[in-house]
Structures are given as C-alpha cells and as structure tokens.
Amino acid sequence: MSSLFKTKEFANIVLIGDHESKKADLLPFIYAVLTGQSSKSFAIVDKARPDPVTTNPSPRYDVECLGGVKVTIVDGPELSSDTVPEELEAVQRAVGGLELIDAFIIVADCTKKKLSQGIEDALQAVSLAFPRPVRRNFFYIFTSNNPAKPALGHEQELPPEARSQVIGTISNMVLLRDLFKKEYDQSSRHEHQEELLDGFNRHFTKGAGLLEELFRHVDRCPRQAKNMNHIYRLAATIESKLYALLTLEREPRLEVEYPLYITRIFIPT
C-alpha cells in the first residue's frame, strides 16, 4: 500500500468520542492501517499500540506512516452521554496542546439515533476555539460494537452539512480480534483456521478501506490554526514574492514610444 498522504508531510488529528463508541478500540486499528500492517499480523501477532509521547493533557501518539509522513494523534477523553464541564475542559486542553490541526475524527456508536450531548458540547467548544470555521474539518466514523451483527450503516441523524463528512461504519476490530483468536487457538484443523482468518480478513479489509478514505480526506483538508500569526506571516511572504515578480515585469524595456495625440493624415484623392 502506498502512502495515504500525497500533499502533506505531517498531519495532526484529534479523536473525539463517548464511552458508548468504544473510541479506545479504534486507535490500534488506525495505527495498523497507517503503518501498513496486514490483517493476519493484526489478528495473530497483536502488536501493541505505540507508547504515547505524552499523557498530559491527553495521550498523544506520533505515528510514522508509509511514505515517511508523520501523523500525530491526540486521543481526547471518552465523554459522558450528558454535559460534564470537567470533560469539556479536558477536550479544550487536548486541543490546546496543538498549534495546527488537520482533522477532528468524531467516533460514535452506530446504533444511536443522535450524537450524545457530551459529543455535541465538545464539538461546540472546539468550534469556538478557532478563528475560522472548523466544522469542515470534522469527519464522522460510526462504530459497530456487536460482533454478531455486520457493520452495515448508522442510525445517526446529522445536520445536512455534516452528511458529506461521514466516512462510514466500522466494526470494532479489537472485539473481533479477541473472538477470532479464541476460536483460532481452540481449533485444531488447519482448514478451519484458514476459514476463520478469511472471515477476519474481510472485516479488516472493509474497515481499512474506510480509514484509507478518511486519511485521503485529511490530506486534502485545509489545515486549521488557533493562532493566525503564522497565516499572516505566510501571507506576507507570498505578498513580497508577488511584489518582486510584478516589479521584475515592470522593468524598462526597449520599446517604441508613441505620442498621446493623434495626427491627422490627409490622403489625396
């Protein structure tokens, strides 16, 4: 698999979700997809997630992806269903630890009719922290946490402007891996083990495809900044370069000067 990022050399991502979404289980799967891990390796080897660079104010992971792109993931607190001021403050501190942010991944349970109040409050708090509209940087992933049911869709009622930012529904791959390993280890028939692995691979491939689509969106999404100073500096640099080009275009050239008046020419008949 080639690099998921074509234009950006780094990306900063914040995960926002509640207890029911089991957001913590999505992080190992994201790590596996970013680093190009195979479904068999994810299922059997069970590589541990990387250690966080810091846990204050929230766990932060630096992942080196295929192609050398560095992705920083801040794992925000798991939110309650209701408004909890302490949790909102924790989200604000998590966002405050990054100067630039490329995307917010909102993780929600696919069986719920609407986003929990905790998630809604967190998104509102995040929006107020930026000088420019940031909701175009929101991407929604719905999790299916019942291994007995396939991840077919979601029940969430979202505003019209958010529907184009829905990535899809992903099975909880950590739960599926636990079930797979239990059956795999108990099976003594090689053919049965291969059947189990094929079934797990189908779930892995579908989920990985959705995450790859997500990161392609992140790659194209405009980067957001809480402090606009660097934007102003960049604009000043661009302005100076344009001025230099225009000045170069206006340098004197060897040209024929034409008078500003028109001389009558009489043609004899």
Average pLDDT of the residues in 187-210: 93
Closest C-alpha among 47, 52, 100 to residue 76: 52
Give the fold, CATH level 3, of 10-227: Rossmann fold (3.40.50)
Q: What is the pTM of this model?
A: 0.80
Among 33-37, 42-46, 257-261, the minimum mean pLDDT is found in 257-261
* Residue 103 and residue 167 in contact, taking contact as beta carbons nearer than 8 Å: no
Report residue 122's pLDDT band, with 50, 70 and 90 as the boundaries.
very high
Q: Identify the pLDDT of residue 183.
A: 92
Closest C-alpha among 84, 80, 63, 59 to residue 72: 63
**Dihedral sign, Cα of residue 143, residue 145, residue 147, residue 151:** negative
Domain ranges of the chain: 10-227
Chain mean pLDDT for the chain = 85
| CA distance linking residue 115 with residue 224, whole number of Å | 24
Average pLDDT of the residues in 140-161: 78
* Residue 42 and residue 32 in contact, taking contact as beta carbons nearer than 8 Å: yes
Average pLDDT of the residues in 114-122: 92
| CA distance linking residue 70 with residue 72, whole number of Å | 7
Average pLDDT of the residues in 165-183: 93
Q: Identify the pLDDT of residue 71.
A: 96
Average pLDDT of the residues in 169-173: 93
As a whole number of Å, the CA-based R_g of the chain is: 26
Q: What percent of the chain has pLDDT over 90?
A: 53
Q: Identify the pLDDT of residue 151.
A: 64
| CA distance linking residue 145 with residue 172, whole number of Å | 5
Q: Is the pLDDT of residue 261 over 50?
A: no
The more confidently predicted of residues 183 and 161 is: 183
Q: What are phi and psi of 16, to 5 degrees?
A: -130, 125
